[in-house]
Amino acid sequence: MSASLALGDIFRAAGPAWRAAHIGRLLLQQLKVMSAIEHCRTAALGGHVAACGDCGHWRIAYNSCRNRHCPRCQGNAARTWLAEREADLLPVGYFHVVFTLPARIADIALQNKAVLYALLLQAASETMMTIAADPRHLGARIGITAVLHSWGSALTHHSHVHMIVPGGGLSPDGQRWISSRPAFLLPVRVLGKLFRRLFLTRLLALFDADRLAFRGRLAPLADRRAFLRYLVPVRSRPWVVYAKPPFAGPKAVLAYLSRYTHRVAISNRRLLAFNENGVTFRYKDYRRDTAHQQQVMTLATDEFIRRFMLHVLPRGFHRIRHWPVPAARPASPGCENC
């Protein structure tokens, strides 16, 4: 076990053989991500010398790759991003809402990342804003910060969106603040139904526009009738939308954001060992009760790298997105008349 084990160590040792075994099947973006992580903070990227003017001690500091998939580089990026977001927080409670794609749809998304991840973010945000604007629920225009995650704790593919939503919004005329109930924002069953309808309607439109690709075991879905049959089970089942209780103040919101906005599929601190048996790391098993969720898993090195590479995003894809944050700041969390 090594406290200093990093993803770059694994890629440097096993990456060349893994790439050779998968030659012709990897995307250019995946190759670039592997190269960046392998070379991060090594002589390959250059560096600078830091010296003490008093004692003369000096050391070489190698440059970072700054790739958004690199666990070493995202800490500084997150701190910079948070400093810029802190001023945007309103003096109200904030809710954490999660929209998750069913596994059958997530399989299609894995082969159509740019198109369907964008659709996931758009459908989830539109669902929130539509239901929030409904006078039967909140009757207000809300703001949203949304973050796409494509992984589960064991590095499996699990497409979902985390949202931070203020507990209220502007009235339709923009003249006053409307607060949600202290521990309730919007009904999750209503959100789930609209999310399912919006996503599936637009998914079919993408199919009809010939904007979806199907490979491997999904290749038969290129036939429209097969595609429609494939969607039948997810049309009738509930789509999971989860709303957590509100955060305990702005500091808790920032602490959450610091963990989620720039998170990559696995952090270096979760890596425990790398040897002939494979890669050993910590993960959370959410099927267990809270006290026993922390578990340890060992994957063959090839499988570990394969799972990590599932989560490489298309070039230029924005996984953190914002929808209009109310411009008016309420005088107090419960005020609806100012």
User: Residues 255-277: pLDDT tens digits?
Assistant: 777 677 778 899 999 999 999 99
Sequence-distant (6+) residues with CB within 8 A of 38 are 8, 11, 12, 15
**What does the alpha-carbon distance between residue 248 and residue 255 come to, in Å, rounded to a whole number?**
11
Tell me the backbone φ, ψ of residue 31, rounded to 5 degrees. Answer: -65, -40
**What does the alpha-carbon distance between residue 3 and residue 272 come to, in Å, rounded to a whole number?**
7
What distances in angstroms separate CA 33 from CA 4, 51, 83, 153, 314, one per listed residue? 21, 32, 27, 20, 11
Which pLDDT band holds residue 222 (cuts at 50, 70, 90)? very high
Predicted pLDDT at 93: 86
Q: Can you say how many angstroms the Cα of residue 125 is from the centroid of all Cα atoms in its chain?
A: 14
Predicted pLDDT at 63: 82
Which pLDDT band holds residue 207 (cuts at 50, 70, 90)? very high
The 10s digit of each residue's pLDDT in 146-196 is 999 999 999 999 999 999 999 999 999 889 999 999 889 999 999 999 999
Predicted pLDDT at 325: 46
Write out the two tokens for 223: 């036939």
Length of the chain: 338
- Least confident stretch, 113-122, 184-193, 243-252, 269-278: 243-252
* Domain regions of the chain by residue span: 77-265+310-323
What percent of the chain has pLDDT above 90? 65
**What does the alpha-carbon distance between residue 230 and residue 238 come to, in Å, rounded to a whole number?**
16
**What does the alpha-carbon distance between residue 143 and residue 306 come to, in Å, rounded to a whole number?**
36
Q: Are 311 and 265 in contact (CB under 8 A)?
A: yes
**What does the alpha-carbon distance between residue 169 and residue 59 come to, in Å, rounded to a whole number?**
52
Give the DSSP letter of residue 131: H
- Least confident stretch, 70-84, 119-133, 272-286: 70-84
Mean pLDDT, the chain, rounded, equals 88
Which pLDDT band holds residue 62 (cuts at 50, 70, 90)? confident
**What does the alpha-carbon distance between residue 126 and residue 120 come to, in Å, rounded to a whole number?**
10
Torsion over CA: 247, 162, 166, 180 (sign)? negative
